[in-house]
Structure 1
């Protein structure tokens, strides 16, 4: 009995080329859609100014707050509250010295992760009608608060989150950190957020503006108390209960410096990698192999379509930066990292395969969909 013939190398090459080019073409189409439809914050004053609380969950941020908190205090909100989440570096004292109202975080109840519990405490402490939760590493420029309130008013959203513009200082920060923008802008077509299905929801926890009535109506952050990727989980929970979502690019008004080095980027991304892959380790591994095959392999082996794949892989990251307003020469040159990025991301995937992740000195299990 004859054995079935194996696929020829030429056939394998053609299949590879079709899949790789299809991948890149799909992402390019999503980028094009988002270039046209993704909202940007713009200066302006809302017609009605609600009472606003700016709320900062902070754990071991004593080095960060002097560079970011003054700009937040200058926005003219009715109150700025910093929750010192049991820091070991004097975060609360630094925040109080800068002029913020500081509350001390209470011990976490069983079953709560750090950030959802911090945000739940801030919800109870705040008095505003609009509650804006802001990470400690986010910088607000003049007019940012009015722009956020104007966008919230324009969209009628119950939750508006903002994608701050990345500010990377050291070479190590540029290796992986800008991929936050690529993950949003090349994989999620913004018009999907208008669909009623909860799965078509997303949010960025760095800046989340919520109407108090909507937040209290879903029980605060109780439903995502054990979620590592709590921002998107909360957005989908809110949407499933009739809430309206919106997202906007921060542009010139809101920026962020997420991580100060490549190792910090690896640690930060690895805690979110598994939830982003639907808590599926096979899907996580498939994603790693796919990125290696599309972006790195064409620079190692001259497979069919290698020239097009090389150019497309480099241009993609440049286009993402242009779309977010990162257009300086150093920012555009990040595109040259395209072939190396899947290799640089391998430590992220390896850490994400573990049963636990560690962040801010706390260890969380990630063996369920609520992790």
Structure 2
């Protein structure tokens, strides 16, 4: 039994070491949005914001977008049949600044997800050469547009997506939200992802999606991904499938966002996305999450068993300790890069357990056709084994 555990600890430590190397490589490639030189000319950009029951956020978001120091932009917000004060707030802001255009959302057609339909209507109303989709819960510094567009132009990319600074307040946010930037930094080697057309090798963040209008139209826009719950990843995959280029940047100095405000919102939001991100394929989903559980939970469990006198192996102690050290290092690298508190790295086993629970819940609700988001039942997905 001792040799069995020792062998597994060696495999886990070696795998974790590989993830640390990927994270360090991505640290270098994941440049800040302000690192690129400005272009010689600034194209017209349409800033597009879907809003459904966002009276807590929409005022601050729109004011930050209207404060951009960009020479040629329009801001369009779609009020997606809100039943709170979203419409009133937008009407007041529009009366104060003619650059803001507010459009009422049309009824949701059959076969569309709500946000996708809202973004489709926004794109149809836009006049810019560039389309910048952002969420109502974001706040933008005045240089946000300039930095993002300079990066897009310098990289000659068709899609620039970026990671804002995620504000985390409650413990549910602190323990769960950092997992997803961490997964990109740790598991997606950007040096390879930028060069291959394999759909699995891409990432995107719906809070910050900057398209060239021609590329957006070429891939079919939101109509092409109307039933994909994880619209940002689906759009990035469409970009790759059409032979177009994408880049990922770090916008923690330019954009901040508090996605969720309590544990219920955290669980609902990530439940919607996790299984969908795997294309509703059960076997890959189960295998990946099983392996994540083994890699990040087995070493601390082994150390506990050894401390309790249930295992006796010096080699197992060394390998399990190495696995724990590498996991904390990996989380520390990610938290430092994305602006999360460093001490949260010590809680990675708790984060792993919580995300595994969310993953299981995500699959169970999707299989039963009971996934919801913002009061709407999601379009029932076609579940596949592979």
User: TM-score surpassing 0.5?
Assistant: yes
Structure 1 counterpart of 2:313: none
Deviations 1:269-318 (A, max 9, x none): 11111133342323333333333322233333336222112222222211
Deviations 1:70-123 (A, max 9, x none): 111111452111111112213222223233321111112221111221111011
> More deviation in 333-342 or 297-306?
297-306
Give the ranges of 4+ consecutive aligned residues of structure 1 lying more than 4 Å apart after TM superposition: none
Q: Is the 8 A contact 1:164 1:251 kept in 2?
A: yes
Structure 1 counterpart of 2:127: 127
Greater relative contact order (Cα 8 A, min sep 6): structure 1 or 2?
2
* Other structure's SS at 2:148 match: helix
Distance 1:115 1:15 in 2: 47
Counterpart mapping for 1:166-245 below 5 A:
166-199=166-199, 200-245=201-246
> More deviation in 161-170 or 126-135?
161-170
Q: Is the 8 A contact 2:197 2:243 kept in 1?
A: no
Structure 1 counterpart of 2:6: 14
The answer for unaligned runs of 5 or more in structure 2 is 95-99, 307-315
Distance 1:367 1:26 in 2: 34
Shift of 1:261: 2.1
Structure 2 counterpart of 1:317: 331
Distance change >3 Å, CA 348–CA 123, structure 1 → 2: same
Q: Is the 8 A contact 2:46 2:128 kept in 1?
A: yes
Distance 2:26 2:217 in 1: 31
Distance change >3 Å, CA 349–CA 201, structure 1 → 2: closer
Distance 2:360 2:193 in 1: 31
Shift of 1:135: 0.9
Distance change >3 Å, CA 225–CA 23, structure 1 → 2: same
Distance 2:52 2:250 in 1: 26
* Other structure's SS at 1:209 match: strand
Deviations 1:234-288 (A, max 9, x none): 1111222122111101031122111112322111111111133342323333333
Name the TM-score, length of structure 2 as normaliser: 0.87
* Other structure's SS at 2:32 match: coil
Aligned-CA RMSD value = 1.9
Shift of 1:368: 4.2
Distance change >3 Å, CA 54–CA 269, structure 1 → 2: same
Matched, 1:80 2:75: yes
Distance 2:65 2:39 in 1: 18
The answer for unaligned runs of 5 or more in structure 1 is 1-8
The structure that is helix-richer by fraction is 2
Name the TM-score, length of structure 1 as normaliser: 0.90
Shift of 1:12: 1.9
Structure 2 counterpart of 1:65: 58
Give the length in aligned residue pairs.
Answer: 357
Distance 2:275 2:145 in 1: 33
